[in-house]
Amino acid sequence: MIDVLNRGLGGQESPEELARFEPDVIGEAQELVIWQVGANAVFHDEVYSPDDVGAAIAAGLVVLMDLQYTTAIIKPEKIARAKDILSWIETAAANAGVNVFHRFALMERWCVQDGIPIDELIDPTDNDRLHMSEWATNCVTEALYGAIAGAPPPPTV
């Protein structure tokens, strides 16, 4: 069984989240921390500097989950920024030697290859069309659980 503690705050991005790591995350002595970053850097691109977002990601790197594939993120005026953020996340993870759970690619595959309408992935109460539906959240959770359960055990010291 996995107990999940969600320490995310809507509208925050890596600079604000990093400031809360010690009390909200590290202080909880978790065995696994998944840090979802990037969506607000795309959605609120007028607020967040790519350099500040990248620096916070590099400084607080634990385990990363990239951004969600939602209507607000893949709009023509946002998709280039989304791809930049995805690249920054990948680079930061590679430099730190940690894995990324590629949620964006997974959700994109659901829509593009599997034919699932993007509206199924969006929270129907979210007028911004940024946040995932309960169905999509459950599917991502199952995929993440499968990735964790199928991972090789850590090396013995």
The domains of the chain, with CATH numbers, are 14-105 (3.40.50.1110)
User: Which residue type is seen at 68?
Assistant: Q
Quote the tokens at residue 52: 């500040």
Q: Note the pLDDT tens digit of each residue in 86-142.
A: 999 899 888 887 788 899 999 999 999 999 999 999 999 999 999 999 999 999 989
CA 10 remoteness from chain centre: 13
To the question of pTM greater than 0.85 for the whole model, the response is no
DSSP assignment letter at 23: I
**What does the CA dihedral 49, 52, 58, 61 come to, rounded to 10 degrees?**
-90
- What pLDDT sits at residue 156? 58
pLDDT tens digits, one per residue of 26-36: 777 776 777 77
29 compared with 68, residue with greater pLDDT? 68
Helix (H, G, I), strand (E, B) or coil at 64: strand
How open is the CA angle 113-110-122, to the nearest 5 degrees?
A: 140
